Amino acid sequence: MTEIRTNRLILRPFRESDYDDLYEFLSQLRDDEFEGCPGITYENGAPIWKDTFVYAILESDVRKASEG
């Protein structure tokens, strides 16, 4: 998979190092019927991301650097 960059965003393959941020996001949504993951823990959520999340979307530092 390739990485796609724009002035504002980066779309790239999901990495194992992204899991902490993903868990933080999903655990805040545990009461949300559509996006949340009821009952998610750090341990039981880890195997799920490998089968579900293919891409990570990040805010690009390119825009920040060009504005500074």
**Confidence class for position 1, pLDDT limits 50, 70, 90:** low
Q: In what order do the strands lie in the sheet with 4-5?
A: 4-5, 9-13, 55-59
Q: Residue 29 corresponds to which tokens in the numbers above? A: 């949504």
In this prediction the pTM is 0.58
Q: Is 60 helix (H, G, I), strand (E, B) or coil?
A: coil
Q: 12-65, pLDDT tens digit by residue? A: 988 888 888 888 877 776 555 666 566 778 888 777 777 777 788 888 875 444
Number of domains in the chain: 1
Would you say residue 7 has pLDDT above 60?
yes
Q: How far, in Å, CA of 41 to CA of 43, rounded?
A: 5
Range of the domain at 57: 4-67
